[in-house]
């Protein structure tokens, strides 16, 4: 038997994306986004949903581009900070010691310390209520030099997820059909 919870977001966990943009003055900024994920494979696209009141929302609307930087366990503290602080009030890169690097394919910075980066050009924008939904076509993907293409990224990077107000590491691979 199931109990009714009403209209509630009961989808957990969610990926942790560090979305980097340039603001109107060209200052790099980063925001933690967990309302997002892959939305198309051909062409490769990532969707993110951002509240209109954020500094990042304005940058997305003005610049039409963003990068998705995938943090690993060692970056959990920075990811939490990026989600709490506003780029209007603080230089998040300076505060954390992270390095913004100008992307080659889009008008947005990426975070040098992150193991995986996706450079995205916004192709669709939808107003959803409290959030705006941005679809970004991935124009380029980058990984650290030590990342091997023959081993899944999830096994090499130790990505983190978000659920119920907390950050979590991803556990071991589960083989379908084998005992759990």
Contacts of 78 (CB under 8 A, 6+ apart): 18, 71, 96, 98
pLDDT reported for residue 72: 93
- Confidence tier at 108 by pLDDT (50, 70, 90): very high
* 121-148 mean pLDDT: 96
Mean pLDDT of 1-21: 87
The pLDDT value recorded for residue 180 is: 53
* Residue 153 pLDDT: 87
Rounded-to-integer distance, Cα 50 and Cα 8, Å: 18
Is CATH 3.40.50.620 the right assignment for the domain spanning 14-145+152-169?
Answer: no
pLDDT for the residue 11: 72
Predicted confidence band of residue 13 (pLDDT cuts 50, 70, 90): confident
Contact in structure between 109 and 28 (CB atoms under 8 Å) = yes
Residues 6+ apart with CB under 8 A from 132: 49, 50, 51, 52, 57, 60, 61, 125, 126
* pLDDT score of 77 more than 80: yes
d(CA 171, CA 18): 21
pLDDT for 18-51, tens place per residue?
Answer: 999 999 999 999 999 989 999 999 999 999 999 9
Does the pLDDT of residue 5 top 90, yes or no?
no
pTM equals 0.92
Give CA–CA dist 156/148, Å, rounded: 8
Q: What is the mean pLDDT of residues 126-146?
A: 96
CA separation (Å) from 139 to 42, 119, 122, 142, 169?
Answer: 12, 6, 10, 10, 28
Strands (E), 42-130: 44-51, 65-70, 100-102, 109-111, 116-127
Q: Report whether pLDDT(6) > 70.
A: yes
List CB contacts of 2: < 8 A, sequence separation 6 or more.
Answer: none
Tell me: pLDDT of 63 over 90. yes
In terms of Cβ atoms closer than 10 Å to its own Cβ (0-12, 13-18, 19+), residue 57 is: middle
Q: What is the pLDDT of residue 178?
A: 59
**Cα distances (Å, whole numbers) of residue 162 to 66, 70, 114:** 20, 13, 17
Report the percent of the chain where pLDDT is more than 90.
Answer: 79
Task: Provide the mean pLDDT of the chain.
Answer: 93
Query: What are the structural domain ranges in the chain?
Result: 14-145+152-169
Given a cut of 90, is residue 79 above it in pLDDT? yes
For residue 92, give Cα distances in angstroms to 28, 81, 99, 102. 9, 8, 10, 16
């Amino acid at each position: 038997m199931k109990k009714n919870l009403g209209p509630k977001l009961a989808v957990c966990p969610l990926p942790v994306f560090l979305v980097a943009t340039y603001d109107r003055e060209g200052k790099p900024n980063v925001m933690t986004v967990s309302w997002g994920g892959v939305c198309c494979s051909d062409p490769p696209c990532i969707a993110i949903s951002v509240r209109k009141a954020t500094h990042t929302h304005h940058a997305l609307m003005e610049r039409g581009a963003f990068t998705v930087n995938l943090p690993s366990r060692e970056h959990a503290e920075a990811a939490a900070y990026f989600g709490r602080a506003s780029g209007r009030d603080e230089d998040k890169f300076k505060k954390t010691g992270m390095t913004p690097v100008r992307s080659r394919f889009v008008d947005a910075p990426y975070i040098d310390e992150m193991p995986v980066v996706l450079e995205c050009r916004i192709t669709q924008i939808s107003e959803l209520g409290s959030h705006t939904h941005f679809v970004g076509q991935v124009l380029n993907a980058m990984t650290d030099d030590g990342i091997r293409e023959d081993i899944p990224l999830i096994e090499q990077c130790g990505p983190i997820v978000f659920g119920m107000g907390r950050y979590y590491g991803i556990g071991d691979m589960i083989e379908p059909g084998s005992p759990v």
